[in-house]
Homo-oligomer: A and B are copies of this chain.
């Protein structure tokens, strides 16, 4: 059996290796345009930062062997053609026209099965000056080298990142640590469009506390400079720039597939079935060039991820070798390091769920990520989105210095199994003080969701409270923390009555006004609301997330 694989970064090499394991005498050839093969693209920000010392490490196996053409030939028995372009697919004759870039020599290669692992390319908007030197995407090894070279230049200090998405944020830390002034320019009202507004705001504040300038609602109009970029012109003004990194997203590379008449999905990526088969049963596609199914909504989505590409490659290989295997789809599970915060998400955000027509209940659950008496316990701010109709989890987001990725992965497991918050709340997760609170953060969050769904707790978002304050609405903004906590930090226009004193000081509260209770994390706020309701107060709500998740200015 002859298999040609076009693309040598993640899905391609994975498929190749698996095919050879299943059918040792298959003839497998990888075609790769670049000279580099099988590198860890997600590691590039860490190569720029110097955390990864040598480029080579991103191309090594875990025991330090470089995955080059020789490695693939000797160890995997896979033939690799680098610096070779796949020009055209002839589906009728089942062959691929390739061009060796060094000498422009072209030839046809026959296949029984073909795998398209052509990946994605960064979107470079056709703005004036976008071709100036020192404007990079962070897409491949070449970009990383270019950025590193520039960082070595002591005069280059002003860096502009266009687009506040994953890659832009990941590289920011590296640039700040090198002593650069970094500005992120984002067209939308928030960075991190994968997150809900208030979680993104908490992350943005954290970045700002590390000296990063974030300009939202700001659009880049052009780039200026002689040979090299010197300025970024936006609709709000001009920014100095010795380096620009474009991070406004990627676009699936589908030209080959389109030219060959393969079906392209509504999101402009290659359409595949669960077996990773395209509309031509002898042609498979995998990785960043294909459309996936969203496991929560069941709809098509485009979520390019290195982890998904690897799984795609394996599923395609299994099916090519006659072993039925199905890829069930993705959740958009994402994690990212932002200075000493982690940011993570899986499933739907509140905003996405709204667009999809779900009626949702939302929980903000800030808490220490370990037993609170452990000295290394760190705050973890968790948000759950729950389907009001059937009480199933729809999505989770988290940020903070705490252990985010564990809770996001637990949520991901709940999502694929359509678990309700009731089921989640009684999960037997492992507990010891150095690892989690006795009731894990996600269990506490699930219980808060149950309280809300059952009508014991009526929440109100910080955003709504903030708007009420701005509009000078008449309500009591009731802080039930201790005087010590109040002295440290408080919210605007608040009234302090510590929870322990509340039962004896009820007469200080107007019976007719709305009361919005809160505390540090709004657990005591919840208890206060119950006390007030039991005492006959009619309109009592609890502010989600408390002081910890208040995304506006605080009084210190």
Enumerate chain A interface residues (CB-CB to B < 8 A). Answer: 10, 21-22, 24-25, 40, 42-43, 46, 51-52, 57-58, 60-63, 65, 71, 74-77, 170, 295, 305-308, 310-311, 314-315, 323, 325-337, 342, 344-346, 367-368, 371-375, 403, 405-406, 408-410, 412-414, 416-417, 419, 422-423, 425-436, 438-440, 443, 447, 454, 456, 481-482, 485, 499-501, 503, 519-521, 524, 526-527, 530-531, 533-534
A427 with B439: CB separation less than 8 A: no
Q: Which residues of B contact A314 (CB under 8 A)?
A: 425, 447
Rounded to whole Å, the gap between the CB of A419 and the closest CB of chain B is 7
A412 with B428: CB separation less than 8 A: yes
In the complex, the 8 A-B pairs of residues with the closest C-beta atoms, listed nearest first: A24-B534, A413-B413, A307-B431, A335-B430, A62-B372, A417-B417, A333-B430, A406-B406
CA distance A63 to B481 in the complex (A): 9
List 18 A-B pairs, Cβ < 8 Å: A10-B438, A21-B526, A24-B533, A43-B374, A46-B434, A63-B485, A75-B524, A76-B527, A307-B438, A307-B439, A311-B439, A314-B447, A331-B428, A332-B428, A342-B435, A409-B429, A413-B427, A416-B427
A426 with B327: CB separation less than 8 A: yes
A374 with B428: CB separation less than 8 A: no
Q: Kindly identify which residue among B412, B430, B533 contacts A412, using a CB–CB cutoff of 8 Å.
A: B430
A56 — nearest CB in chain B belongs to which residue? B373
Q: Which residues of B contact A419 (CB under 8 A)?
A: 417
Rounded to whole Å, the gap between the CB of A128 and the closest CB of chain B is 34
CA distance A482 to B368 in the complex (A): 45
A40 with B438: CB separation less than 8 A: yes
- 19 more A-B residue pairs beyond the given contacts A40-B438, A42-B431, A412-B429, with a C-beta to C-beta distance below 8 A: A21-B456, A24-B531, A24-B534, A46-B433, A51-B374, A74-B501, A76-B527, A306-B438, A310-B439, A314-B447, A328-B426, A335-B432, A335-B435, A344-B430, A405-B435, A409-B429, A410-B413, A412-B428, A412-B430
With A428-B308, A503-B74 given, is the CB distance from A371 to B40 under 8 Å?
Answer: yes
B433 with A408: CB separation less than 8 A: no
B21 with A527: CB separation less than 8 A: yes
Rounded to whole Å, the gap between the CB of A293 and the closest CB of chain B is 11
Counted per complex, copies of this chain come to 2
A22 with B456: CB separation less than 8 A: yes
CA distance A372 to B43 in the complex (A): 10
Q: Which residues of B contact A60 (CB under 8 A)?
A: 372-373
Q: Which residues of B contact A46 (CB under 8 A)?
A: 373-374, 433-434
With A307-B429, A333-B428 given, is the CB distance from A414 to B413 under 8 Å?
Answer: yes
Rounded to whole Å, the gap between the CB of A382 and the closest CB of chain B is 14
A335 with B530: CB separation less than 8 A: no
With A75-B499, A305-B431 given, is the CB distance from A374 to B52 under 8 Å?
Answer: yes
A327 — nearest CB in chain B belongs to which residue? B426
Q: Which residues of B contact A51 (CB under 8 A)?
A: 374-375
Q: Which residues of B contact A408 (CB under 8 A)?
A: 430
A499 — nearest CB in chain B belongs to which residue? B75
A367 with B438: CB separation less than 8 A: no
Q: Kindly identify which residue among B75, B425, B433, B501 contacts A527, using a CB–CB cutoff of 8 Å.
A: B75
Rounded to whole Å, the gap between the CB of A228 and the closest CB of chain B is 30
Q: Which residues of B contact A406 (CB under 8 A)?
A: 403, 405-406, 409
CA distance A482 to B51 in the complex (A): 26
A315 with B374: CB separation less than 8 A: no
A54 — nearest CB in chain B belongs to which residue? B373
CA distance A330 to B295 in the complex (A): 27
A42 with B426: CB separation less than 8 A: no
Rounded to whole Å, the gap between the CB of A70 and the closest CB of chain B is 8
Q: Which residues of B contact A524 (CB under 8 A)?
A: 63, 75
A373 with B426: CB separation less than 8 A: no
B428 with A500: CB separation less than 8 A: no
B434 with A337: CB separation less than 8 A: yes
With A331-B428, A454-B323, A500-B71 given, is the CB distance from A436 to B373 under 8 Å?
Answer: no
CA distance A501 to B52 in the complex (A): 29
CA distance A71 to B503 in the complex (A): 13
Rounded to whole Å, the gap between the CB of A379 and the closest CB of chain B is 10
CA distance A438 to B305 in the complex (A): 9
B333 with A433: CB separation less than 8 A: no
